[in-house]
Amino acid sequence: MEYLHVQERKKLQVTPSLLLMVGGGFQVLLHFCLAPTLSADGQSVSSCLSGIGWLLLFSGLANYFWKTKGGWHLHILDSAVGFFGITPNRLVALIFSLMFSVTAAITAGNGPQLINPPVSLLSWGASILLIAVAGWEKKPASLLPLAGVIQWIIYLFILSFLLRGMDTTGYPNVLSGDEATSGLYAIGFLKGLTNNIFITGWFSFPSFFSFVQSLGIAIWGQTIPGLRIPSALCGSVTVVVLFLVCRAMFDNRTAFIASLLLAFSHFHIHFSRLGINNIWDGLSWLMTLGALWWAWNKERKAAFTLAGLCLGLSQYFYVSARGLFVVIPLWLICVALQDKKKAARMLPGIILMFLTAAVIILPLACFYFSLPEEFFAPMERVSLTEDWLNATMAASNTSIIGVIWQQFLSSFFGLTVKPLIHWYKPGVALLRPVSAVLFYIGILFMLRKYRDNRLWLIVIWLGFFISSGALSQDTPAAQRYVAAAPACFMVVGYGANKIIQLLEGKLKDHRDLVFGFSIFLVLIVAVNDAWFYFYDYSPKSDFGGYHTQIAQKLAGYLKKQDYSREVVFSGWPEMGFRSIGTLPYLVPEIKSTDFNAPWGDPQNIMPESKKILFVFLPSRQEDLQACMQQYPGGELIEQTQGKTTLYYLYKAQIP
C-alpha cells in the first residue's frame, strides 16, 4: 500500500500533502510564538516539535509541487499506512494528534495556573479529536439492534437517576469532610484560583475531576446537590452502559437483570450519591473493557479507538483506573494464546488503542514524571507497610503468609458475605444474600465455558480488585470495590438467566409463566436492596463520623442565622471550625475564630465583633461555663442527635 506514488490513488496524494503543509506550518509558527514563554525544558521540547513541523512542511511541499517519489520518511509513512490499515490523511491526523498532545503538556506546567491556557486546552482537545478521527471507520455499528430496546434504556436511566439524584441532601444526610474538601478545591476553578486540569489537586487525585465538580457547583450552587448530582448522573449512565455491554456480551435478558439489579444496588446507590471520584471509575472500567471486548470479537478498529479514549480519560479520575493497564494486557495475552492468527490481525488496533490512551494521558503523565511523589501518594496511603504487617502478625499470632492469605479471603468475601467497612459500613457485603447466591451460580456456569474470553475478562477484572483490596489496609474497604460492582452484577445477571433457562427447559409448556414469575422475583430482590439502603441503613448510619455530624448540624443552624455574626469555636484538640471541610463549604460567608487553649488563655484572640456565637464541644464544658460567667444573660442551645450531645451553642450578650 503505497503512500505517494500509485497512480490509482492520485486523489489521496493531494489531501495528505496539504495536511502536512498546513499542519507542519502551523506547528512551526505555534512553537516559534510559544518558545519565549516556556521553561528551559519546555523550550527544548518545543524546538524538537518545531523541527518535526519543518520536516512535515517540506515533505508536503515536495510532494505537492514536485511530486517527489520518496525519501526515507515517506517510506516510513507508507509502511505505517499499510500497518494500521488506515488512509494517509488519517495517518497524518494521528501524527499531529501526538504533536498537539506534547504541545498541551509543555504549555500546561506543574502549577495551579496553566502556562498558556488557550494553547494548552485547545491543543489537548485537538489531540483527542485528531486521534479519534485517525481511528474511525466508515462502517459504524448499526443502530437498528437498539430500536427495540431504546425505550428500556431511557426507562433505566430515569429509574437509576431517581434512585441516585433525588434528595441528595438527605441521603446521606451528612456531607463528609472529603466531599466538602474536594468541593472547596473545585470552587478554585470557578474563582480563577486554578485552571490546570493536568495536575493533581485534593488528596493527590487528578484535578480534572475537580473541574468536573466545578461544573455541578456552577449549575446548582455551592450546595450538597452541586457536589453530588454529577455523581448521580455518572452512576445512572453506568447502569445504562452495563445494559449495553451485557447485551453485546450475553443477551437481552442477562443485560436487563444485571442492569436492573445494579440500578437498585444499595452499594452503587450509595457511591452514586457521594461527591467523590470513586463512582467515575465504575463507568470508565465498564466502557473501556466493554469497548475492548467488542473490538476484539467484532474486529473493529473504531472500538479499539473508543477503548483507548476511555482508557486515557479514566486516568483523570480515581486511582483504581490505573489497574486497567494491568487487566488489559493480561486479557489480551489470554485471548492471543487462544487465537494467535487473530492476535496478529488485531495488533494494529491494539497499538492504536494504546496510542490513543497515550495522547490523552501525556499532559498528566508529564506532571507525574516531574513530581513522582504525587503519582505514588494515593497508593502509599493504603498500602501494606512493614509496620502494619508486623503489628497484624503480632495481634493475630500468625506468619506473614497467614496475614496475606487472610487479607485475600477478606477481600474476596467482601463481595458476597463479609461486611464492608471504611467509606460505607452497611453491615453487609457488596452483594446481599440473594444476589450473592446468584453470583456464585453465575461463576459456576461460566467455569463450564473456561475457554470463553468473556469469562477471562470478568475473572481478571474481579481478580484485580480482589488482589488490590488484599494488598491494602482496611480490607474490605468499600470505596475500593466501586469499579468491581458492574462486573459482579454481570455475573449475577448471567447466573439468574441460566436458572431461568433451566426452568424454562423443564417447564416448556409454561415458559411465559416461568419467565414472568422469575422477573417478578428479580424485581423483589432489586427493590429490597434499595429499601435496605434508604430505610434500614440510612436512618441508623453514622456516615462521616461524630465530628462530621457536628459540622453538618452546625452548618444547618448557621445557614439560618445572620451572617454578620462571627463564630468562636472551642473544640480543641478534637476539631476546629475549618478542620473538616463541611463547614467552610456549606457556610463560606461565616467568619470564624478557633480557641485552641483553655478559656482565658492569652493565645485565644477574641474577635472585635459584638455579635458572637460561641460553640463548644461537650469536652469543653469548663470553657462553656467560664464563657457564660464572663458574658451572662445569653441564650444556651444544646444540639443533640438522638441521645448524643453534639455541641453547645451560646449566643452571648457582648457589652
Residue 383 has what pLDDT? 93
395 three-class SS: helix
Residue 74 has what pLDDT? 65
Contact 129, 96 (CB under 8 A): no
Cell of 262: 445494579
- Residues 6 or more apart in contact with residue 258 via CB below 8 angstroms: 242, 243, 246, 489, 490, 492, 493, 494
Lowest mean pLDDT among 77-91, 217-231, 437-451, 568-582: 77-91
pLDDT band at 611 (very low <50, low <70, confident <90, very high): confident
The b/e string for 124-137 (b: 16+ C-beta within 10 A; e otherwise) is bebbbebbbbbbbe
For cell 416461568, name the residue.
514
Residue 145 has what pLDDT? 67
* Per-residue pLDDT tens over the stretch 97-127: 999 999 999 999 999 999 999 999 999 999 9
CA distance 256 to 271: 22
Cis status, amide bond into 539, omega within 30 of 0 = no
pLDDT (average), residues 497-519? 93
pLDDT surpasses 90 at 149: no
pLDDT (average), residues 325-330? 98
Residue 331 has what pLDDT? 98
pLDDT surpasses 50 at 6: no
Cell of 171: 441521603
Rounded to the nearest integer, the mean pLDDT of the chain is: 92
Lowest mean pLDDT among 69-78, 199-208, 515-524, 562-571: 69-78
Question: Would you put residue 81 in left (φ > 0), alpha (ψ -120 to 50) or beta?
Answer: alpha
CA distance 325 to 375: 15
Residue 34 has what pLDDT? 86
Share of residues in the chain with pLDDT > 70 (%): 95
Residue 565 has what pLDDT? 83
Residue 479 has what pLDDT? 96
Residue 1 has what pLDDT? 39
573 three-class SS: coil
pLDDT surpasses 90 at 56: no
pLDDT (average), residues 74-79? 76
Angle between helices 485-506 and 453-470 (to 10 degrees): 140
A 10 A CB-CB count for 85 gives: 14
The one-character DSSP state at 535 is: I
CA distance 38 to 108: 10
CA distance 361 to 148: 37
CA distance 430 to 435: 9
pLDDT surpasses 90 at 321: yes
Taking alpha carbons only, the member of 531, 431, 417 closest to residue 489 is: 431
pLDDT surpasses 80 at 473: yes
Strands 566-570 and 635-641, sheet pairing:
unpaired
Amino acid at 562: D
CA distance 459 to 15: 46
A 10 A CB-CB count for 345 gives: 11
* Per-residue pLDDT tens over the stretch 415-425: 999 999 999 99
pLDDT band at 69 (very low <50, low <70, confident <90, very high): low
Residue 60 has what pLDDT? 79
No. of helices (H) and no. of strands (E), the chain: 26, 5
Contact 282, 490 (CB under 8 A): no
CA distance 247 to 243: 6
pLDDT (average), residues 234-244? 98
Share of residues in the chain with pLDDT > 90 (%): 79
Residue 153 has what pLDDT? 93
Alpha carbons within 13 A on the beta-carbon side of 571 = 26
CA distance 130 to 108: 20
Lowest mean pLDDT among 19-23, 289-293, 439-443, 528-532: 19-23
pLDDT (average), residues 321-335? 98
pLDDT band at 567 (very low <50, low <70, confident <90, very high): very high
Contact 493, 255 (CB under 8 A): yes
Dihedral of CA atoms 27, 30, 36, 37 in degrees, nearest 10, equals: -110
Residue 57 has what pLDDT? 83
CA distance 92 to 67: 18
Q: What is the largest CA-CA distance in the chain?
A: 99
CA distance 332 to 312: 18
Task: Determine phi and psi for 102, rounding to 5 degrees.
Answer: -65, -40
Cell of 514: 416461568
Residue 610 has what pLDDT? 85
pLDDT surpasses 50 at 356: yes
Task: Determine phi and psi for 645, rounding to 5 degrees.
Answer: -80, 125
pLDDT surpasses 80 at 5: no
Beta-bridge partner residues of 651: 613, 635
DSSP characters for 454-521?
A: HHHHHHHHHHHHHHHHHTBSSSSBGGGSGGGHHHHHHHHHHHHHHHHHHHHHHTGGGHHHHHHHHHHH
* Per-residue pLDDT tens over the stretch 622-631: 999 999 999 9
For cell 471550625, name the residue.
577
CA distance 572 to 622: 13
pLDDT band at 517 (very low <50, low <70, confident <90, very high): very high
For cell 479471603, name the residue.
409
Cell of 256: 436487563
Residue 563 has what pLDDT? 79
* Per-residue pLDDT tens over the stretch 365-409: 999 999 999 999 999 999 999 999 999 999 999 999 999 999 999
Higher pLDDT residue, 206 or 610? 206
Contact 470, 238 (CB under 8 A): no
